[in-house]
Amino acid sequence: MDNKELRSNDQPSTNRARKRVSFTNWLRQVLVKKQTRERILVVTSFFAIVAILQINLVPANLDVKLGEPSPEDIHAPREVIDAERTQELQKEAADKAVREAENELEYQTIMTRAGTEAETLVIEVFNLIDRSRQDLEEQRAKGDLSRQNLEEAQGALMGVAEGFAEMPADDLKTLLLLPVEDYERIKKSVRQIFVTIETEEKIGWQNLDKLRSGLDRFILSYPLLPQDVKVVRSMVSSMLFVNLVKDEAKLRQLQDKVSKEVPPVKIKKGELIIREGDMITAEDIQLLRELALIDNQGNRVLIFFSLSMFSLFLIGIGLLYIYHFDKKLLKQERQLYLLALVILTVLAVAKGLSLSNVTALNYLIPLSFASIILTILLDPKTAWVMSTLLSFLVGIIVDFNLSYAIFYFVSGTASVYCMINITQRKELIQRGLILSGVNFLAVITLNLLFGNKNFLSMLGFAVTGAFNGILSTALANGFLPFLEHLFGMTSALSLVELANPNLPLLKRLLLEAPGTYHHSIIVGNLAEAAADAIGADSLLVRVGAYYHDVGKLRRPYFFIENQIAQDNPHSKLSPNLSTLIITSHVRDGVELAKSYGVPEMVIDLIEQHHGTDLVRYFYQRASEKIQEDKETLEESGFHYPGPKPQTKEAAVVMLADSVEAAARAMGNPSSARLEAMVSQVIKERLESGELDEANLTLRDLDKIRTSFLKVLGGIFHHRVQYPEIVKETERKKASGNNR
């Protein structure tokens, strides 16, 4: 009974253990697929980016109510424009500008009824004058015309237009006493001139007197008789009236212009907006809504959704670029991990700096660090695309600020251009200073463009941006070796260091296998020239050539270039054993390089520099030994283990190695013989299929052949044979013996 209970108790734990094992096995089977790991990386990066962007973007909902005291000090979580205060200032400025401008002629226009009123006034005036003339005519006929009659007539006219009060009495008398024919002529002229002036000229209180004093420019343009000018001038001057109203369209334009010129009232990030105990007003509620501090549940969902879509959009652009223009990156899983790590690190640092609420620190985000690392370890084009996408994300992190996004786009682009083709660490520092200068100018330009009038703050931001260039370069210089080791990658800077002959492995090669060392130097010269000709990585090719034969250090004297005044040990060995020793230098080289920490990309060249080529010399010796049993000889036992060259660089090292060996074995090299030899070597490797996987074209092979011949021509050039110089003592001795 007890045993049964024990077994029943053990069964659930056993089942759980089996489930854990089955899950572990399933997970292992899933993760063993490269595509699955890459998809997991993309999904994880997406959620990580969204999570970083969301931090503190929408703060917790505050419990405040209108008309009640604030339970705590409330600070602005991000920079925001105070819309209420901004509108108040804009309205005040616009109203003031309108008050000042509405009395200016520029903002007034001639009223549409000015012509009608002018016509009406002329009719009324001349109706009065006509009646006065008629009355005077009757009085003159009775002999009762007096000065009082003229004053009464003038008073009647003043009731129509105030200007008649200043009309000279002589002119009015002349007008009243003119013959009918002259009067009608003047009447017609006054009507035309006056109506024209009132409908075409702006007449305001500001310019009325000036216009009256300058009426001759209008009057003299009409065909008047000289005796009529004075009377017409007096009549027109007396009738002039203000014909202006406000130009509402221009005033609205002025309002809009002045409103736009008023800078928005900004509440800075971290600024205290409501003190604890202050009564919450309607303006406070509106401001808190704009800051998403209240009623923000809907905002949270909307912002999360929009940020997720935006992040997905940018990741999609990056993946599409990689798929269409940089597919080799998809084959290098470690490079994808590096890309994700650098991007997430920069975003995390950006978020941390933005949370400090110190504006100047927003210019310290090390986006240039990402650009430098990706340019050196991956590819300049990929680095530029990723830094551009990063600048958009950084713009979101720093309060959706466009100026920061533009600054980091400029800084990231400058970083990529500065770090192209860099080969020495001192160049890294020099170009970092150039980057600092670009950052300084970019900050100044953008602050001026976005309206920062504070010179001291602008200068402080510019100095911070310049320091960002130095800081990013220093960080890249410090982290580069660590990232290279972590992701198994090699930069051009590391390759240059690997070419140093004082490194332990190369020094061993020089001391223990000097012939091989010299051979490797010549192969490096040949390979570098060929790589430059076909656009391959010439630095990698040279370093690979230096290390390609390090496996010969295990048994240096079994290789002919190291046999100085010694018997050839292969003469005492069978061809099969000699082949095994010769071909093993590839495997030995790989093992030795790994033990010395040589990068993987150089080890690949060591492993592939002979491909699956036939060891022709020992195969021929073996064939001669068995003679009549030649058909039983297995050729497969005399081949290098491979693999064949997988890249242009590996193929170039293979061809340079073969050409150098063939040229060294040539007894009396001439230009023609060297050319025939190089062509033959390339032809043999091509026909044997050794170059099938190296992506070389026939044009590339022709360029490689030409480059080899140029280098070999410099090595095997003709020399002048100098005559032997007989010393003076020997000549005397020889002449004495002759005697």
CATH code of the domain covering residue 369:
1.10.1760
pLDDT over 90 for what percent of the chain? Answer: 30
**Residue 685 falls within a domain, yes or no?**
yes
Mean pLDDT for the stretch of residues 294-307: 71
Spatial separation of the C-alpha atoms in residues 549 and 516, rounded to whole Å: 7
Q: Cα 341 from chain centroid?
A: 20
Report which residue type is found at 356.
S
Structure tokens at 271: 């600024």
Instruction: Calculate the CA dihedral of residues 501, 505, 507, 510 and round it to 10 degrees.
Output: -100
Taking only the tens place, the pLDDT of each residue in 29-75 is 666 677 888 888 899 999 999 989 888 766 666 667 777 777 777 77
**Residue 378 falls within a domain, yes or no?**
yes
**Residue 150 falls within a domain, yes or no?**
yes
Q: Which residue has the higher pLDDT, 103 or 47?
A: 47
Spatial separation of the C-alpha atoms in residues 229 and 224, rounded to whole Å: 7
Taking only the tens place, the pLDDT of each residue in 111-169 is 889 888 889 888 888 888 888 888 777 776 665 556 666 677 667 776 666 667 677 77
Instruction: Assign 312 to helix, strand or coil.
Output: helix
My answer on whether 167 and 220 are in the same domain is yes
**Residue 331 falls within a domain, yes or no?**
yes
My answer on whether 561 and 458 are in the same domain is no
My answer on whether 563 and 684 are in the same domain is yes
Q: Pick the most confident of 163-167, 174-178, 238-242, 381-385.
A: 381-385
Report DSSP state, residue 178.
S
Overall number of domains in the chain:
4
Instruction: Calculate the CA dihedral of residues 653, 655, 656, 657 and round it to 10 degrees.
Output: 80
Spatial separation of the C-alpha atoms in residues 118 and 196, rounded to whole Å: 9
Domain range for residue 46?
2-54
My answer on whether 202 and 342 are in the same domain is no
Q: Is the pTM of this model over 0.75?
A: no
Taking only the tens place, the pLDDT of each residue in 528-587 is 999 999 999 999 999 999 999 999 888 887 777 777 656 777 766 777 787 788 888 889
Q: Above 60 in pLDDT, residue 298?
A: no
**Residue 105 falls within a domain, yes or no?**
no
My answer on whether 544 and 465 are in the same domain is no
Place of tokens 């360029």: 703
My answer on whether 583 and 683 are in the same domain is yes
My answer on whether 484 and 560 are in the same domain is no
My answer on whether 523 and 557 are in the same domain is yes
Is the separation of the CB atoms in 126 and 185 below 8 Å? no
To 5 degrees, how large is the angle CA 102–CA 108–CA 113? 130
The pair phi, psi for residue 283, each rounded to 5°, is -65, -40
For the four alpha carbons of 300, 304, 305 and 307, in that order, the dihedral sign comes to: positive
**Residue 77 falls within a domain, yes or no?**
no
My answer on whether 199 and 332 are in the same domain is no
My answer on whether 379 and 436 are in the same domain is yes
Report DSSP state, residue 279.
B
Spatial separation of the C-alpha atoms in residues 299 and 293, rounded to whole Å: 10
Spatial separation of the C-alpha atoms in residues 558 and 701, rounded to whole Å: 32
Instruction: Assign 639 to helix, strand or coil.
Output: strand
My answer on whether 20 and 123 are in the same domain is no
